[in-house]
Structure 1
Amino acid sequence: MNPNNYKGLALVLLAVSQLILALDYTIIFVALPSLGAELGFSALHLQWVVSAYSLVYGGFLLIGGRLSDLLGRRRMFMIAMGLFGLGSLLGGLADSQSLLIIARGLQGLGGALLSPATLSLIMSNFEEGQERNRAMGIWAAMGGVGLSLGLLLGGLLTSYIGWQSTFFVNVPIAVLVLILAPIALKESRTSSRSRHFDVAGSLSVTAGMLLIVYYLIQSPVDGWLNSRTIIPGVIGIVLLILFVIIETRTRERLIPFRLFRLRSLTGAALTATIFSASFGTLYYFLTLYTQEVLHYTAVQSGLSFLPLTLSALLGAKLINKMISTIGVAGTIAGGMGLGAIGFMLLTGLSETDSAWGIIPGMVIIGLGQAFVFTTMYIAGSSNIHMNEQGLPSSIVSTGQQIGGAVGLAVIMAIISSSLGTNTPMESMDPGDLNGAIRIAFIINTVTTLIGILVAFVTLKQKKTASLDTNAKPLH
């Protein structure tokens, strides 16, 4: 483990890394109109500023988790941070559409390698039990804080400096982290002496995930059965089947399939999917509500998310007590229940409402978000050998990525069917848009209620096992 005098610095570096990953997910939403106008993006092509990141991030997550186990967590952390920083620098300097999309893809690659490396470094740099779970709570809380802070910071930077600053803000942080990482973080990797690397498995699973994520991203635009999306989707499934066949015949498996027999991991991945399909879509719909229905500026819209940020921070401080009292399943179920209450409150929003009307729902959702997001990663890392800690976090993150894409697509489809129109939400008049957003929050309420059931079915455990993240089953 890490020397005591560097553990504080280690936690700061890992928490900040998680913060900028989450922040970058939402900060781009506020900058899109400005950069789209300056670089001449069409409405169709502008989505690829977001999708390029999501595509590469989702495609490389699994391989990123395994690489951190095999090549060294600190080494992969530094490589990933370097790529993320470089992508941010190129994004700020971009003077063409193609360069900006390439920069976003590079950011996505850095994020896919960085996310599992940070969590596995927490496992190797902090003692199991209260110390490790406190570190995980802070790390995970930064994810929730970053999502809402991104909207606020994006509004301020875009309004007063320019959209380029939403990229440049990451660069000095990345440089500072790279300088301090060798000092504060202890290196760790798998103890296997074999130098064998499953190249065929790596290529098949990465290509398969890229095509499937592309299908999930592009289908809501082109159609779920359109040849431009269904063919890549089918090829992606075939490649994943090929990956399974390859793995059954190789000596050093890229992904040990026995991990999927762990209820703690499969439950965490399902929870992540449900979390992203409900909590994860909140930012998109509330941003539309504040800017298009209430006609707030980007800065005012960002400020309206401040109560959610503060309640998420409060929730993070309660995690250890919650888990020790009611267990992992109870904490996640409680978070989902709070989410259901918050989303139900938000269904009462109207065209004549104000920021005060969204505060009660956002505060409750912020608490629930902290409970679920933090605890699902604690659950996912439980009962996993230290040599394989990078992989579970990438599996949970993959569930989160897929859940966000599928959840938003399903909500959009139901809205279109209910309102009898395919008009983009950004083009609706305030009354229709308010009704569409109300439907979205009703769906999110139902989704979080399903999350309660999933938590109790897959993650029910004894209280004494709830804080163990080493090698004791959760069930």
Structure 2
Amino acid sequence: MSQIVGQGRDSRWVALVVLCVGMLMIILDGTIVNVALPVIQADLDFTQSGLAWVINAYLIPFGGLLLLAGRVGDLVGRKRMFLGGIVVFTVASLLCGLATTQGLLVVARFVQGIGGAMAAAVILGMIVTMFPEKREQARAIAVFSFVAAAGGSIGLLAGGVLTEAISWHWIFFVNVPIGLVAFGLATRVVPGERGIGLRGGADVIGAVLVTAGLMIGVYTIVKAADHGWVSGHTLGFGALSVALLFGFVVRQATVAGPLLPLRILRDRNVAGANLIQVLMVAGMFGLFFLGALYLEKVLGYDPLRIGLAFLPVAVGIGGLSLGASARVNARFGERSVLIAALALVAAGLALFTRAPVDADYLVDVFPSVALMGIGAGLGFPAMMTIAMSDATKDDSGVASGLVNTTQQVGGALGLAVLATLSTSYTNGSIAEGAAPLQAMTGGFRLAFAVAAGLVMLAVLLAVIMLRQPKAASEELVPVPVPVG
């Protein structure tokens, strides 16, 4: 990164590093918790389905508020929104670390998601503004993309190290000094700009509708394991969720300043890439969440070994997303690369359905996580390029926000579905007399099979819906940047 800083004649490259530090903290927090979940579950007495809320309480406000946060950033100034988000995120991290009850942890995670959305929504727009020249802009976005892609995978390892060496509380406490440093540096080196003013308007009602609809939807799925899929509770709350989301769509079609102009969804690449991302991320979050529980509860791994077990995912994403993916995309085209990458991810999930009670890591786990790392490292950059390829200058900010939103929504909904299916199968098997360890493993296998099916559906949609972006290789793929 020092080489990057040295390339600029002004403070823009230093500002880029500061923005990337803020983004790394936010992205890393989305996965660092996964490795510590078994310890958190035991310490705070969560059920397996209830444990999903430790993740979902972060993902839902993050995904639901990204579009609104981006719009408010345009109104009041992106730097102000970024700094406010860092403050909210850092304070919420402190509360998460201090949590001694389920309720406090879940509420603090929700506030963390709000802060994460506030900061993350404006970072890419600030980078584009700081680097208007196309080649410099491509180099800056390459660094940002690498941090965003690799940060989640690094969190898996960091979570294991912190949980094993100190305690799970420190996976949150570690954000406090990082947040303070990022805030202090950002106030000095990140350039500020005037917003267009609050009279420009922000669709707060739309943000409330989409966030409430998603939150109730996830709640409905999680509680279906307790109440039954066709119970009045499940059907009633499910209908309320659908009604709220339908209300959001209607409002976007009629309000003067929508959060999500529906016209951008008429483009096959924009709509297809975002739908594919929902399915892909749903499958991957299933592996990270349930895979961590499988390694701990069935194989007896401690948090550090769980983090190391997922290291091939971090290496694959980090190693391929910065340089190799751009060259592969230029050679074969983003559409072809994405289809192949999705197939690798699906294969990795399918292999995990063989997971036995007495698994050997090199035989039963490593092939799955290695395929996942390669597939994700190649797939995410190709998918981002396709999703943004047809966006006009006026719609590029909305298209970028939509990509971030579908990523978080896919993770939250996928996690809720897979965790609930796994819990329901395990409880049913135990009720029929199966040994607890066998029943638990069977539940994990079912979830991995469904996750693989979701990603295979994504492969089918990619074949049917997507078109190769015109001149994407020359215009939109970030130029690799030396990092050292």
* AA of the residue aligned to 1:355: Y
Shift of 1:278: 1.8
- The match for 1:326 is 332
Question: Which residue does the alignment assign to 1:342?
Answer: 348
Are the aligned partners of 1:204 and 1:239 in contact in 2 as well (CA < 8 Å)? yes
Q: Which runs of 5+ in 1 are unaligned?
A: 471-475
| Deviation sequence 1:229-256 (CA, Å, 0-9, x none) | 4434333333343344444443333332
TM-score, structure 1 as length reference: 0.84
2:85 paired with 1:116: no
User: Does 1:236 pair with 2:241?
Assistant: yes
CA drift of 1:266 comes to 0.9
State the distance in 2 between where 1:446 and 1:36 align: 28
Q: Distance in 1 between matches of 2:156 and 2:469?
A: 39
CA deviations over 1:239-295 (Å, ceiling 9, x no partner): 343344444443333332211112232122112111112222221232133222321
Q: In 1, are the aligned partners of 2:60 and 2:412 still within 8 Å (CA)?
A: no
- On the 8 A contact 2:36/2:159 being kept in 1, the answer is yes
Correspondences of 1:55-454 after superposition (within 5 Å): 55-127=60-132, 131-187=136-192, 195-316=200-321, 317-357=323-363, 358-386=365-393, 388-411=395-418, 421=428, 429-454=436-461
Shift of 1:463: 5.3
Structure 2: which amino acid aligns with 1:327? G
Contact 2:385/2:472 (<8 A) preserved: no
| Corresponding residue for residue 473 of structure 1 | none
Change (3 A) 1:461 1:298: same
Pair 1:461-2:465 in alignment:
no
CA distance in 1, matches of 2:146, 2:420: 31
**Given the superposition, is the C-alpha separation of residues 281 and 138 from structure 1 closer, same or farther in structure 2, using an over 3 Å criterion?**
farther
Q: CA deviation at 1:296?
A: 1.5
Determine helix, strand or coil for the equivalent of 1:318. Answer: helix
1:78, distance to aligned residue in structure 2 (A): 1.9
Residues 58 and 185 of structure 1, relative CA distance in 2, 3 Å threshold: same
- Give secondary structure in 2 for the equivalent of 1:384: coil
Give the deviation of 1:39 after TM superposition: 4.9
Which region of structure 1 is more displaced relative to structure 2, 458-467 or 151-160? 458-467
Q: Residue by residue, what CA displacement relative to the aligned partner does 1:450-474 show, whole Å, maximum 9, x if unpaired? A: 322322333312551345459xxxx
Q: Report the CA distance shift for 1:188/1:456 in structure 2 as closer, same or farther (over 3 A).
A: farther
CA contact (8 A) 1:21 1:143 kept: no
1:315 touches 1:370 (CA, 8 Å); kept in 2? Answer: yes
Shift of 1:368: 0.9
Percent identity (aligned): 33
Paired residue type of 2:324: L
Contact 1:69 1:387 in 2 (8 A): no
Moved more, 444-453 or 99-108: 444-453
- Select between 313-322 and 206-215 the one with higher mean Cα deviation: 206-215
User: Contact 1:337 / 1:452 at 8 angstroms: preserved in 2?
Assistant: yes
Structure 2's unaligned 5+ residue stretches are 1-6, 478-484
Instruction: Please provide the CA RMSD for this pair.
Output: 3.5
* Alignment equivalent of 2:32, drawn from 27, 31, 38: 27
Q: Distance in 2 between matches of 1:423 and 1:10?
A: 55
CA displacement 1:185-205 (0-9 Å, x = unmatched): 444688699533444444444
- The amino acid across from 1:276 in the alignment is V
Cα 1:388–1:20, aligned 2, differ >3 Å: closer, same or farther? Answer: same
- Going from structure 1 to structure 2, the CA distance change for 1:227 and 1:142 (only over 3 Å counts) comes to farther
Contact 2:52–2:419, Cα closer than 8 Å, also in 1: no
- Give yes or no for contact 2:224–2:234 (8 Å, CA) kept in 1: yes
Contact 1:18–1:140 (Cα < 8 Å) also in 2: no
Contact 2:89 2:114 in 1 (8 A): yes
